[in-house]
Structure 1
Amino acid sequence: MSDAVRVLGSLLYRQRPEAVFDATVRKVITAGGPVVEQWRQTLTPVEGDEPKRLRPTRRFAQLLASDISPASEAQFGTVAEAQAKVTWVGKDRAGRLAVEFAHDGRDSTEPLLATEWPTGQPEGWNDSTVIAADPASNGAVFALTPTPDGQLRADPLLNPGGEPRCTWGYIGTGPTTLYGALVRCALGLWHRIDDQDWIGRPWLGTRTDSELWRVISQSEQGASIRLPWPRVQAWVSDDRRRVTALRE
């Protein structure tokens, strides 16, 4: 059965990615920094009998652990252990869940949050949107958009085609993931850009003509990032135009 699921998932990824990435992936973030705090303020607590109804479900278990198979649970009891540490459950404006865990004694004084992170395409971002993240959030990047009623909408940075493990300030996998997520959101692409070799891999050290990659890779480590969405879109367009010219 598991082999059949993998084959079906691979076919859908290639032929109907919009069906695959309409779902969410589990992402664990640290509740630290002003950007995550802005996002948390947009969440609605799950109250009453709903937490009790959610806890036995597969959906809730998938939020608590990366492996929820019966064999793994029988051996390690990861889901049950995580269940005991849940202190709060909330929902975002789209109904996606987030759970907070009691502090586990790590170096950080901030609690952990497990979230249903979206993987589709952005909606509602505009010229006032800012891509923002703080190092204290464990790689969580958001799009902050002011709303007409004076509020601030905080959307997780969608990463069509991959998991949202973003970092910045050096050359490596995490910055590459952030670069790819921004490119795909800007251009409405679904697949991983390295699958398509779309942009000639401008994140390689030998390529210095991508302004977006320069900003991501050379941002100061330990510093926050704030990137206006229109500027990101312009940088992506420049990269696309440059690569297209090189191929012709």
Structure 2
Amino acid sequence: MKKEQIFEFFRRLAEANPAPETELAYGNTYQLLVAVTISAQATDVGVNKATRRLFEEVKTPAQMVALGEEGLKAHIKSIGLFNTKAKNVIALSEILVRDHGGEVPADRAALTALPGVGRKTANVVLNTAFGMETFAVDTHIFRVGNRTGLAKGKTPEAVEAQLDKKVPGPFRLGAHHWLILHGRYICKARTPECWRCPVVDLCGFKPKVLEQGAKPPVAKKKVVTKKKVAKKQVVATKTA
């Protein structure tokens, strides 16, 4: 995707949703950190359901430590990997109390040093809570970046680097929210809803689904003939 196309891509997404926000429910920065930390392999709807009562009771790291691991498990047991997540949240809360005065640090290195907090989680917190121009690459952004040609990469880190390089100034703060929402509701994994996509003409994805109810064209399988196999064996022998 060329420079002018990228600008138009985000201009249209911004026009459709001028103030994009995370769909995770939280009341303060600490609750945001907890919500993102336990959201791995879970939906935002599921996380919000699990944390609704939790966040009424727990608003600070000290309160989370007082609740304890078993108490936290009782709140988030509907979420996958809740045992490990509860252990990490209690551990990171203890560190915040001990080393950061009970506050969430506005620093990526300090955040990723916390148990259960990876680069993606840190980027979400830095962007959403502290207004930093970061790009939290989840499965949606990874798919949209590669599928559209906006930011291609074999790893989330590679896609993040491309976004950091290519996203123009006016859209950097909201970019990861726009891309997540676009991937979640329009550019879906199995069947992208291209017929209602506002950036369909800018997208490099070839098997577009332009009619509602249609399925993406099935890619043709490569036919490997005996002649091609023999040729590969000869080449392999020569280069061995």
TM-score by length of 1: 0.28
Decide which structure has greater strand share.
1
Larger radius of gyration: 2
TM normalised by structure 2 equals 0.28
Between Structure 1 and Structure 2, the one with more helix by share is: 2
